[in-house]
Structure 1
């Protein structure tokens, strides 16, 4: 399958590293003009430099803004008022050890609210601006990068799982609202992935235990995600492949979907 996105402009939030960076590279490879988005200017500038070096002649720009805030979203919109593709990828998690129910009681309101602002409201605010413009043009793609944790809620990260479930509700509702317009809205659900947050956590665990990162990842899977069918962490590129496809013309009949790239972790067929 040859995906062609020349003439399309895309924003990928949280794209200086990880799944977002791999998605930005995939969209660029397909010919799209791509906006790199991150919170810090130095990281955004470096990501743009690396991308331009890897893809000479491509249209790649960067915008630094904290998308957990209204002001940050407004900054991004002011610099990029119109796009054809919006990938709501930015997000984070607080990875904790779980010893018992008392740990859940210790999660402060600030953690719940800050995760909701970044993981959910950044996408809500951006889509609220860009979706009507896509509908007016008769073509557009909105993708929310959720997680298998949306349906397989981790007890050690209930606040994170809550935000990922919320993304599924938002994406399905927006797809319903955009029915018949030529604009699709979907969610992609990665499983354990060697991305920046989880990959760095595994690297630290490996160093502390005197084992390799792959051994640490295998230990994590056996303890936390024993239902994995691929029996390894996915790569960011493998997840990005699904996202890029959903952004393509070839995916025009896919909307309102929750597409799993979870390595078979979630044990249901639908």
Structure 2
């Protein structure tokens, strides 16, 4: 399959590292003009520099903006008013006990994981509909289906993304625009990888050993019995952004390594 996205502009939120960065690289490889995003100017500039070096001749730019706020989103829109492809990847997670999760914690993670995608889609979706083509992808998590007891707030936000994604797909039926969610399992993304590295250091073991211990304790249903790579998740995202995925919409596409134990 040859995915060709030349002439398309793709925005990927939270894309200086991890799944977002791998997705930005995959879309650039397919010929799309890519806009990456992060909160800090220095980190965005460095990511743009690295990507331009890796993909000479590609149209790659970056916008530093905190999309968890309405003001940050407006800053972003002023610099990138239109897009053909939107990947709502921005997200965070914090390990904490439910009893210790404050109202402020709940509201903060909801702003980052849910409202950032709501704001971005609300802005870019209408023009996609007008032009008769567009792709919107929400990067959710298997935690949306298997709510983790140590991150209940995170699980709730990831379930909310699935609901938003499906509802939006219904709202643009027949327009040529597709809206989907991708559901990764444990992945060597920046947040989880850093956490695993910390666990490994504390226990005096390798990171791979720490990952295996995590899978056995918290995700024993994994069929691949390892963490996925960010590229493996990005491959699915790039596909659903393509012309070839024109009949796929309203879906929650699992890249979870078989963690979720039901047929769907």
**TM tier relative to shorter chain:** over 0.9
Q: Which residue of 2 aligns with 1:241?
A: 235
Q: Structure 1 CA distance, aligned partners of 2:257 and 2:186? A: 8
Cα distance in 2 for partners of 1:109, 1:116 equals 11
1-structure distance, mates of 2:71, 2:247 = 35
Q: 1:232-259, CA deviations, whole angstroms, 9 ceiling, x for partnerless residues?
A: 0000000000000000000000000000
SS in 1 for 2:186: coil
Q: Note the 1:43-54 alignment, pairs <5 A.
A: 43-54=43-54
| Residue-by-residue CA offset, 1:136-170 (whole Å, 9 max, x unaligned) | 00000000000000010000000000000000000
Distance 2:198 2:149 in 1: 21
Give matches, 1:1-270, under 5 Å: 1-96=1-96, 103-270=97-264
Shift of 1:105: 1.7
Distance 2:258 2:233 in 1: 13
CA distance in structure 1 between the partners assigned to 2:159 and 2:18 by the alignment: 21
Task: Provide the TM-score with structure 2 as the length reference.
Answer: 0.99
Structure 1's unaligned 5+ residue stretches are: 97-102
Shift of 1:209: 0.9
2:200 aligned counterpart, secondary structure: helix
Tell me how far 1:182 sits from its aligned partner.
0.2
**1:31-87 superposed Cα distances (whole Å, 9 cap, x missing partner):** 000001000000000000000000001000000000110000011111000000000
SS in 2 for 1:118: helix
SS of equivalent to 1:187: strand
Aligned residues: 264
Q: Deviation per CA, 1:68-111, whole angstroms, max 9, x where unpaired?
A: 10000011111000000000000000123xxxxxx322211111
Distance 2:36 2:104 in 1: 28
Q: Distance in 1 between matches of 2:28 and 2:236?
A: 15
Q: Considering only aligned residues, what root-mean-square deviation do their CA atoms show, in Å?
A: 0.5
Question: Corresponding residue for 1:100?
Answer: none
Q: Separation in 2 of the partners of 1:32 and 1:150?
A: 30
Where 2:146 maps in the other structure, the secondary structure is coil
